[in-house]
Structure 1
Amino acid sequence: MATTKMIAHLVNQQVLHEVIALEILSLFLENPTEDSIEMAADFMIECGQVLGDLSQQGSIAVFERFKGILHEGECNRRVQYTIENLFSIRKAKFKSHPGVIQELDLIEEEDRITHEVSLADEFDPEDKANFFQFDPEYEKNEQEWDEIKKEILGEEEDRINKRIDQLDEEEESSESEEEKIQDITEQDLMNLRKTIYLVIVSSVDFEEVVHKLMKMNIREGQEIELC
């Protein structure tokens, strides 16, 4: 479920092309089971608004399939309720489940890079990336990466880093004020999520992401935000 939700939001952010979303929904609903119907409904709740904008005909076809499943009446009451809830959310124009919330609408249209992939494509899982590889020249390589990033990103990199530092300072200030009372407010969580997002988009590869995230001062109980 978490994986499909992640894919849905990658589609929302237009990191992935909407075709992959339609392929996933088609796979779930081609030979539907109660589990696959629920997963398809939850997936559609997450990215239905954006999918309707990017591929209106595809979105209509998916909802027609849901309607057909509902009329067949072969699924249990819980699944029927899930589908009915999806149609209620659609009727409300996904106001309770916007594709991209304002706080995460950070990338300009011209800066977006959309990856067109398909379930039929063959992928290299890069299993070697699952294992730590010691870099004896880590500091030197980090400096080289910094130079490359500055060359590519220019002032944008500086702006992102300043924003990250600002959010870190805000978080540290919040921690000092709440030294005895661990009260994680909604604003704290939003600041942390923004920081994590900016770290990811400003990093060249996963190793840099991990390095920066490890340097962040994540409080106890906030580790779930990294998942």
Structure 2
Amino acid sequence: MFLAENSLKANVLVFDCFHDVLNKGTISHHIQYMIEVFMQVQKDKYKDNPIIPDGLDLVKEEEKITHHICLEEELQVQEGLNILKFDPNYTENEEK
């Protein structure tokens, strides 16, 4: 549902790939059935599959920080943020 609402091109591409897999006919009946069920869910406009189920929406709307990225654009990665740095004063800093 998220992909359908936010990137129609990507959503169409995904379902075109599934359609191609079904047309080749080289998959097991179980996988074929699962893809057909998935395509039916799309036809029903994901009515039983919300983006965020009610029980999982734990962050208040005013506290959310959302980052939007485009699948076609190159990401600007900050590798320095992926490095864990030891903090000898961890307990003091946590209290602050």
TM-score range, shorter chain: 0.5 to 0.7
RMSD: 3.1
Q: For the structure 1 residues 140 and 83, does the alpha-carbon distance in structure 2 shift closer, same or farther, using more than 3 Å as the test?
A: same
Structure 1: 5+ residue stretches without partners: 1-48, 145-227
The aligned counterpart of 1:88 is: 40
Q: TM-score, normalised by structure 2?
A: 0.67
Identity percentage of aligned residues: 24
Where do 4+ consecutive residues of structure 1 move more than 3 Å? 115-118, 120-125
Instruction: Summarize deviations over 1:185-211 as a string: whole Å, max 9, x none.
Output: xxxxxxxxxxxxxxxxxxxxxxxxxxx
1:113 aligns with 2:72: no
Aligned length: 90
Q: TM-score, normalised by structure 1?
A: 0.33
SS at match of 2:48: coil
Instruction: Summarize deviations over 1:146-186 as a string: whole Å, max 9, x none.
Output: xxxxxxxxxxxxxxxxxxxxxxxxxxxxxxxxxxxxxxxxx
Point out which structure has higher relative CO (alpha carbons under 8 A, 6+ apart).
Answer: 2
Distance 2:91 2:18 in 1: 54
The aligned counterpart of 2:53 is: 101
Q: Read off the aligned partner of 1:95 and give its amino acid letter.
A: K
Instruction: Summarize deviations over 1:68-105 as a string: whole Å, max 9, x none.
Output: 11011111212111211111211222223211123416
| Higher helix content, 1 or 2 | 1
Q: For the structure 1 residues 113 and 86, does the alpha-carbon distance in structure 2 shift closer, same or farther, using more than 3 Å as the test?
A: same
Distance 2:42 2:4 in 1: 10
Structure 2: 5+ residue stretches without partners: none
SS at match of 1:59: helix
From 14, 25, 44, the equivalent of 1:62 is: 14
The aligned counterpart of 1:73 is: 25
Q: Which moved more, 1:93-102 or 1:76-85?
A: 93-102
Shift of the alpha carbon at 1:139? 3.5
Distance 1:109 1:93 in 2: 28
